[in-house]
């Protein structure tokens, strides 16, 4: 009963503080939308490739431009000859994903068997740049392969029966190249990537942002709820509470449950937002979602109590709260998938409880797995929570 | 809640507090006393004497290194919940929630003491009247003056009508008017039957309020009794304070060996002399002063008080320490 | 002289607060350090990703008369040392096991090579599909594998079309098909392929790729440098606010009133605050620029550009901090302002997303609605190695904003403290 009174008092205090609504409600929603939009797949998924054909009408160059135009991954933007100067700037500005310059003499060099490189302007440090590079590379290799096939055929034929003249030889070369390219076009081989998911919905940008921001702001919310704990000690009302029949256990539990409740309500808000507004399927495994929410909230509570136990002043709560948020969010894969992080980072990330929280939520909303898929993530969160609780209770100062 | 017996309300037995034993600071060194029903008991002593540490052990905030405090028959060590129900504690520093209203603060702590429903509403209303905050009950405490906060601080301790009210230096750092208000409140509560444990380093307060005064120094009670009993310890000594034209140290040199003076020292820019019969001594003092050209600007003769008792017992003045 | 005393007092107090020092110097370096840990690989030239755990299910059946097996070749290429930093390959016998490993998170990707793979690759009379199964949260690794496998398939197709092109042509000219000849063509074609494959020792180059952003130093990683710039700007703005917070603290401690009863002019007291804030930020920026360049090898650009960008940042951050704090009524609200307002403006200003490649252009434009966005723009230009001239626009904007913030903030404080 006393515990409930303490919780009610805490919630009243939190609701009185206008910054709670900012930290607990407005910012997480804002961030979810922001990151969701940023990481969402663009509607136009084809990469834009500007092409300047400075090689003129030589057949390999023409075939190359044609092949690039046929590529389902690319949207071609032909450039006039005088536009070559500003391509770097325009790629940098994001106007195109990449720009290709088919250098003069490229066709001739290809026929001679000594191909010269094409010039490509693309950001090697981003995915679109890398994908555009790969697409151009693949198309160019096909053209060069067809040219090489024609050259080989001509060479083997010539030994047995020389061509009548250069024109005849050219006709032969063009013929073989065309046949080769036709074979590529009707390739019997294809590669398909199949996501292994039981979910019927395609993953959206929010599949990363929603659980990620949920984890981040669960910690960020401590700025409000753990501050309460420190303020209570600073104003000595906590010591005063202990002069009443309330026990230390009741006081600690009252505050812990407050943090838990606040975190849980915030999670609930974000899960509902994800489900109803962003079209994520948290409800496909309601039991698993609930279990994971509870586990994450308990872990957050233990972190809050730990911060509350270890720091003295309100501003230190902000420092440690922000530090914990940056640390656990970044390493836990809340901001970007651990997949794209370096080996060391990803390896550390696997040991961070928040990465398990993100993984657990994604088991449901991305992988379409059932309730059982959150058992391991939940167990890990609860295990770390137990450890934090133990340290917090051990180190907790009441005055 | 209140039961009428003659058993002591509080019995403190050999309380010891040593921080970080075995070598840490010995803050309280074997304090024992008891408070009878209806008694106002003051712990008087300089800052750092161990008063707050003693109180913290009595109200269960600190666990004693040795000894026990029994409130209404309940040991604070073994039955803390029952013991705490019988006490109301107003801590030295104001401990209230600034972002809650006065009424919300009272309601919250009332619930902590198990008050519910009508009884709670009734008591909150009564306490608000008692502490004179009824018309400001809905305002957030953060907006209160420090005197109002102090009153609320005490009010919280009254909610559950405790047998023993513990007030730890309740008048530190507030204006004379609020101070008077608090002292009057304590007297009124005591008249209504509440026992009070009061700590202070103002001897005037201890003198005015208390039935019994315990003087603490260096973690020990060095004297305990009624005001009259304590003063008797010093004996029939008058207490002369003289202001002179020359520096007091010089005057001290002139007078210190005058016959009949038992103790002499300088305090607050005055020369202080203790003597068995102060009135009779005065002519001799003036005589000696005139002989060396020392002019006496004023003379005050005082009866012995708690200050003299402390000085007598420790060799130090209460207000200097 | 008096002013210096005031400034010195403020600086001393700030540097004695472990909290202020932590937020000013340690936090930005720590976070960038985390990013280095996360993405450091990009700068060192490797893929920057941890090795992908790939299971190959090779169901491919041998075709009578052909020694090679397409499935085996693909598996060998993927397991070659050249790709070992990218893939950790293991083989399993059936799709069931592969799926189990994927759902058990023992593997990231599974490549399933169908039974008629060789048939389709070498004879070409069957249509078949290679399947890459992947965890749905993985977006990059499946595409990497796909592009590599496509490349291998292209080599199969290329050599086959070379062979058939040559043989068809010879047949058309009346020569009979000759298996030895076919083999010769394949061998020649593969020599050519290898000449274009760096991992096979080839020196030929199909593409010459250059990055549109050309950092001044080649060892500087533009991604990291931008991330560090973002963090630096965030925490410099934070310190700017923290420095002006001391006005509130002094007001609450009562020392400000005490200063005002001394003969020091009120303007000098406030001026001292501004000056100490500026000095603190200068120290912070210098320390961060130098230490990040030493720790992470970031080259910030031409000295003049860096100085211009830094001047703009310091002036604007100090002004913004003063302005912000003039709206805060007590130090209790500070957490909100520090945690909330600075974070939101930084977010809109693009500080947190600066290192995400290919952000929609609208975000960069929107970022310029915040002072942080302009500071970022200034450092972006400097990192790009642009000259002084383009740097002048953001600098002018930052200084103009600084003036507005200072004037407005000081006016508010003077009114409040009157």
Q: What is the pLDDT of residues B50-97, one digit of tens each?
A: 999 999 999 888 889 999 999 999 999 999 888 999 999 998 888 888
For residue C239, is it within any domain? yes
Asked if B80 lies within 8 A of A239 by C-beta distance, the reply is no
Interface test mutation site (partner B, options A240, A250, A255, max chain B beta carbons within 10 A): A240
Closest CA to A399 of B100, B63, B22: B63
Q: Which residue of B has its CA nearest to A250?
A: B112
Check residue A42 and give its pLDDT. 53
**Smallest CA–CA separation between C373 and chain A, in Å?**
16
Percent of chain A with pLDDT over 90: 21
Does the beta-carbon distance from C208 to A117 stay under 8 Å?
yes
Q: How high is the pLDDT of residue C39? A: 62
On whether residue C224 sits in a domain, the answer given is: yes
Minimum mean pLDDT range among A17-21, B255-259, C295-299: A17-21
Mutation target vs A (from C103, C106, C203, C207; most A CBs, 10 A cutoff): C207
Mean pLDDT score of chain C: 82
* Cβ(A264)–Cβ(A7) below 8 Å: no
The verdict on residue C6 lying in a domain is: yes
Q: Looking at the DSSP assignment, which residues form a beta bridge with residue B15? A: B31
Size of interface A-C (CB pairs under 8 A): 329
Binned at pLDDT 50, 70 and 90, residue C46 comes out as: very low
Which sign, positive or negative, has the C-alpha torsion C134, A70, C206, A46? negative
B91 closest CB neighbour out of A2, A240, A398: A240
Phi, psi of B71 (to 5 degrees): -110, 115
Distance CA A130, CA C310 (A): 33
Query: C156 and C115, same structural domain?
Result: yes
Which pLDDT does position C218 carry in this prediction? 41
Task: Collect all residues of chain B within an 8 Å Cβ-Cβ radius of residue A245.
Answer: 80-82, 84-85, 112-114
The answer for C 264-323 residues in CB contact with A (under 8 A) is: none
Instruction: Find the CB nearest A188 among C48, C128, C138.
Output: C128
- A245–B85: do the CB atoms touch at under 8 Å? yes
Q: Out of B82, B98, B112, whose CB is closest to A241?
A: B112
Task: Give me the pLDDT at residue C214, please.
Answer: 56
Mean model confidence pLDDT for chain B? 87
Q: How far is CA C130 from the centre of its chain?
A: 33
CB neighbour class for A42 (10 Å; exposed up to 12, middle 13-18, buried from 19): exposed
Question: C339, A137: Cβ pair inside 8 Å?
Answer: no
Residues C160, C19 share a domain: no
Q: Among C135, C166, C200, where does a domain finish?
A: C200
Q: How many CB atoms lie within 10 A of CB C165?
A: 28
Contacts of C415 (CB under 8 A, 6+ apart): none
Tokens describing residue C326: 């003039």
Give percent of chain C with pLDDT exceeding 70: 88
**Helices of type H across chain A:** 2-16, 18-20, 27-39, 59-70, 87-92, 106-112, 127-160, 166-185, 206-220, 222-234, 237-243, 248-272, 286-310, 314-331, 343-349, 353-365, 375-395
- Is position C209 within any domain? no
| DSSP character at residue B101 | B
Nearest by CB to residue C207, choosing from A129, A136, A345, is A136
A196 vs C193: CB contact, 8 Å cut-off?
Answer: no
B105: which 2 tokens?
A: 């603060």
Give, as one character, the DSSP assignment of residue A94: T
Strands (E), chain A: 47-53, 74-78, 98-102, 118-122, 189-195
The confidence band for A262, taking pLDDT boundaries of 50, 70 and 90, is: very high
Question: In this predicted structure, what is the pLDDT of residue A39?
Answer: 64
Residue C135 domain boundaries: 50-200
Q: Which residues of B153-186 are buried (b: 16+ CB within 10 A; e: fewer)?
A: bbbbbbbbbbbbbbbbbbbeebeeebbebbbebb
Q: Which residue among A22, A122, A131 sits closest to C209, beta carbon to beta carbon?
A: A122
Chain C residue with minimum CA distance to A338: C38
Per-residue pLDDT at C49: 58
pLDDT at A382: 96
Beta carbons of C336 and A19 less than 8 Å apart:
yes
Asked if C54 and C38 sit in the same domain, the reply is no
Six-digit token pair at B169? 């230096």
Contact B100 A9 (CB under 8 A): yes
User: What ipTM was reported for this prediction?
Assistant: 0.76
Domain ranges of chain A: 2-40+207-395, 47-185
Which of A92, A117, A125 would you mutate first to test chain C, the one with the most C CBs within 10 A? Answer: A125
> Which of A12, A237, A243 is closest, CB to CB, to B89?
A243
State yes or no: pLDDT of C21 exceeds 60: yes
What's the average model confidence in pLDDT over C107-132?
87
Instruction: Check whether residue C104 and residue C9 sit in a common domain.
Output: no
Task: Name the strand (E) or helix (H) holding B10.
Answer: strand B10-18
Answer yes or no: do C350 and C409 share one domain: yes
Predicted local distance difference test score (pLDDT) of residue B54: 94
Cα separation, B272 vs B304, in Å, equals 13
| In a shared domain, residues C80 and C8 | no
A243/B60 Cβ within 8 A: yes
Query: How far does B202 lie from chain A, in Å, by closest CA?
Result: 24
Is C213 a member of any domain?
no
Chain A environment of B80 (Cβ under 8 Å): 245, 247
C226 and C329 inside one domain: yes
Higher pLDDT, B128 or C83: B128
Which of A1, A228, A230, A237 to mutate to test binding with chain B, by most B CBs within 10 Å of its CB? Answer: A237
Final residue before a domain boundary, out of C166, C200, C234: C200
Q: Residue B216's pLDDT is what?
A: 92
Chains in contact with B via at least 3 Cβ–Cβ pairs below 8 Å = A
Partner residue facing B100 (CB), from A5, A13, A242 = A13
Q: What is the pLDDT of residues C170-207, one digit of tens each?
A: 777 777 767 777 778 878 888 888 887 766 666 778 88
Domains in chain B and their CATH numbers?
A: 10-230 (3.40.50.300), 236-303 (3.30.70.920)
Q: How many structural domains does chain C have?
A: 2
C210 found inside a domain: no
Question: Do residue C159 and residue C225 come from a single domain?
Answer: no
Average pLDDT over residues A133-154: 86
Structure tokens at A296: 């994450």
With an 8 Å Cβ cutoff, the interface of chain A facing chain B consists of: 1-2, 5, 9, 12-13, 16-17, 235-237, 239-247, 398-399
Q: 3-state DSSP call for residue A100?
A: strand
CB A365 within 8 A of CB C136: no
In which band, very low, low, confident or very high, does the pLDDT at C399 lie, cut at 50, 70 and 90? Answer: very high
Residues 325-364 of C with CB under 8 A from A: 332-336, 338-340, 343-344, 347, 353, 356-361, 363-364
Mean pLDDT of C17-29: 80
Query: Is C152 within 8 Å of chain A by CB?
Result: no
Q: Tell me which of B45 and C417 has the higher pLDDT.
A: B45
Nearest to B98 among A235, A242, A244 (CB): A235
Query: Tokens in use for B177?
Result: 């008017």
Q: What is the CA radius of gyration of chain C?
A: 31
CATH of domain A47-185: 3.40.1710
Considering the domain architecture, whether residues C262 and C184 belong to the same structural domain is answered as no
Residue B213: band (very low, low, confident or very high) from pLDDT cuts 50, 70, 90: very high
Same domain, C282 and C380: yes
Is the domain of C23 the same as that of C106? no
Question: Are residues C143 and C226 both part of a single domain?
Answer: no
DSSP string for residues in B103-162: HHHHHHHHHHTT--HHHHHHHHHHHHHHTT-GGGTTSBGGGS-HHHHHHHHHHHHHTT--
* pLDDT attached to residue C140: 74
Judging contacts by C-beta atoms under 8 Å, the chain A residues touching residue B93 are 236
Assigned domain for C127 exists: yes
Cβ–Cβ gap A94/C147 under 8 Å: no
């Amino acid at each position: 009963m006393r515990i409930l009174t303490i919780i009610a008092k805490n919630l009243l205090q939190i609701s009185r503080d206008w910054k709670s609504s900012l930290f607990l409600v407005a910012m997480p929603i804002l961030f979810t939308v922001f990151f969701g939009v940023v990481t969402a797949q663009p509607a136009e998924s084809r990469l834009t490739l500007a092409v300047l054909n400075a090689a003129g009408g030589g057949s390999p160059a023409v075939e190359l431009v044609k092949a690039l135009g046929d590529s389902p991954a690319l949207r071609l933007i032909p450039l006039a000859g005088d536009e070559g100067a500003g391509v770097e700037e325009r790629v940098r500005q994001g106007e195109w994903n990449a720009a290709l310059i088919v250098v003069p003499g490229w066709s001739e060099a290809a026929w001679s068997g000594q191909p010269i490189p094409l010039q490509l302007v693309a950001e090697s440090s981003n995915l679109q740049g890398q994908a555009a590079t790969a697409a151009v590379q693949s198309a160019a290799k096909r053209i060069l392969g067809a040219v090489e096939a024609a050259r080989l055929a001509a060479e083997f034929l010539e030994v047995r029966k020389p061509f009548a003249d250069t024109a005849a030889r050219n006709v032969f070369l063009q013929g073989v190249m065309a046949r080769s390219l036709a074979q590529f076009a009707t390739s019997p081989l294809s590669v398909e990537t199949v996501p292994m998911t039981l979910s019927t919905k395609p993953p959206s940008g929010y599949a990363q942002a929603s659980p990620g921001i949920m984890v981040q702001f669960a910690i960020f919310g401590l700025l409000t709820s753990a501050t309460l704990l420190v303020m209570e000690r600073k104003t000595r009302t906590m010591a005063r509470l202990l002069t009443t029949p309330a026990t230390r256990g009741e006081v600690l539990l009252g505050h812990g449950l407050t943090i838990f409740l606040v975190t849980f309500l915030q999670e609930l808000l974000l899960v509902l937002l994800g489900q109803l507004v962003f079209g994520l399927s948290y409800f496909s495994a309601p039991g698993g979602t609930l279990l994971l929410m509870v586990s994450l909230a308990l872990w957050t509570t233990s972190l809050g109590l730990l911060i509350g136990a270890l720091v003295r002043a309100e501003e230190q709560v902000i420092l440690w709260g922000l530090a914990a948020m940056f640390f656990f969010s970044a390493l836990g894969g809340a901001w970007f998938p651990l997949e794209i992080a370096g080996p060391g980072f990803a390896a550390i990330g696997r040991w961070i409880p928040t990465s398990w929280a993100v993984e657990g939520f994604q088991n449901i909303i991305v992988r379409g797995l059932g309730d059982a898929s959150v058992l391991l993530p939940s167990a890990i969160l609860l295990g770390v929570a137990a450890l934090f609780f133990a340290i917090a209770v051990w180190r907790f100062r009441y005055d | 809640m209140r039961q009428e017996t003659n058993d002591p309300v509080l019995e403190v037995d050999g309380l010891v507090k040593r921080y970080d034993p075995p070598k840490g600071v010995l803050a309280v060194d074997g304090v024992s006393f008891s408070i009878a029903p209806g008694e106002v008991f003051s712990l008087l002593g300089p800052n750092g004497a161990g008063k707050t540490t003693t109180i913290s052990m009595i109200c269960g905030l600190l666990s004693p290194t040795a000894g026990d405090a029994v409130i209404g028959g309940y040991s604070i060590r073994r039955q803390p919940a029952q013991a705490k129900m019988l006490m109301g504690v107003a801590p030295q520093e104001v401990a209230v929630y600034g972002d809650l209203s006065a009424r919300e603060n009272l309601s919250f702590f009332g619930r902590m003491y198990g008050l519910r429903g009508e009884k709670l509403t009734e008591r909150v209303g009564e306490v608000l009247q008692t502490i004179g905050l009824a018309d400001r009950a809905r305002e957030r405490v953060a907006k209160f003056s420090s005197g109002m906060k102090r009153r609320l601080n005490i009010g919280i301790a009254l909610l559950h009508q405790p047998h023993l009210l513990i007030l730890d230096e309740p008048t530190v750092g507030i204006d004379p008017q609020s101070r008077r208000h608090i002292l009057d409140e304590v007297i009124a509560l005591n008249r209504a039957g509440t026992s009070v444990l009061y700590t202070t380093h103002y001897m005037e307060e201890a003198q005015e309020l208390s039935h019994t005064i315990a003087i603490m120094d260096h973690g020990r009670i060095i004297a305990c009794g009624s005001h009259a009993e304590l003063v008797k310890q010093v004996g029939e000594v008058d207490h002369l304070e003289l202001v002179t034209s020359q520096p007091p140290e010089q005057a001290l040199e002139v007078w210190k060996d005058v016959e009949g003076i038992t103790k002499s020292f300088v305090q607050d820019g005055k020369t202080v002399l203790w003597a068995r019969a102060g009135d009779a001594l005065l002519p001799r003092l003036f005589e000696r002063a005139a002989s060396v050209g020392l002019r006496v600007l004023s003379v005050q003769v005082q009866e012995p008080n708690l200050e003299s008792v402390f000085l007598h017992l420790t060799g130090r003045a209460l207000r200097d320490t | 002289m008096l002013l210096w005393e005031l400034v010195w007092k403020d600086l001393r107090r700030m540097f004695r607060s472990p909290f202020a020092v932590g937020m000013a110097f340690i936090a930005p370096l720590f976070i960038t350090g985390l990013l280095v840990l996360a993405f450091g690989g990009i700068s060192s030239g490797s893929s920057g990703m941890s090795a992908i755990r790939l299971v190959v299910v090779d169901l491919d059946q041998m075709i009578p008369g052909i020694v090679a097996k397409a499935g085996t070749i693909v598996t060998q290429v993927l397991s070659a040392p050249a790709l070992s930093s990218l893939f950790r390959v293991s083989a399993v016998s059936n799709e069931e096991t592969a799926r189990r490993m994927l759902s058990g998170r023992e593997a990231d990707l599974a490549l399933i090579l169908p039974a008629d793979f060789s048939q389709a690759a070498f004879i070409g009379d069957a249509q078949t599909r290679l399947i890459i199964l992947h965890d749905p949260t993985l977006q990059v690794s499946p595409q990497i594998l796909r592009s590599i496998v496509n490349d291998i398939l292209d080599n199969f197709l290329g050599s086959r079309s070379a062979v058939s092109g040559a043989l068809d042509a010879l047949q058309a000219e009346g020569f009979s098909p000759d298996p030895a000849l076919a083999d010769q063509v394949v061998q020649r074609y593969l020599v050519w392929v290898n000449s274009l494959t760096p991992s096979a020792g080839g020196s030929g180059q199909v593409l010459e790729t250059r990055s549109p952003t050309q950092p001044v130093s080649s060892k500087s990683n533009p991604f990291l440098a931008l991330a560090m710039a973002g963090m630096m700007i965030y925490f410099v703005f934070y310190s700017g606010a923290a420095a002006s917070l001391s006005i509130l603290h002094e007001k609450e401690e009562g020392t400000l009133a005490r200063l005002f009863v001394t003969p020091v002019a009120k303007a000098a007291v406030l001026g001292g605050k501004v000056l100490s804030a500026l000095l603190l930020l200068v120290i912070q920026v210098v320390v961060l620029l130098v230490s990040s360049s030493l720790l992470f090898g970031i080259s910030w650009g031409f000295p003049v550009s860096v100085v211009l960008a830094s001047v703009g940042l310091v002036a604007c951050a100090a002004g913004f901090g003063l302005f912000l704090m003039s709206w805060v009524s007590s130090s209790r609200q500070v957490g909100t302002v520090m945690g909330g307002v600075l974070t939101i403006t930084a977010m809109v200003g693009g500080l947190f997303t600066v290192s995400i490649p290919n952000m929609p252009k609208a975000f960069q434009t929107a970022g310029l609605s915040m002072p942080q966005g302009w500071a970022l723009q200034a450092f972006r230009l400097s990192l790009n190695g642009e000259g002084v001239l383009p740097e002048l626009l953001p600098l002018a904007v930052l200084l103009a904003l600084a003036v507005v913030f200072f004037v407005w903030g000081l006016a508010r404080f003077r009114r409040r403290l009157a």
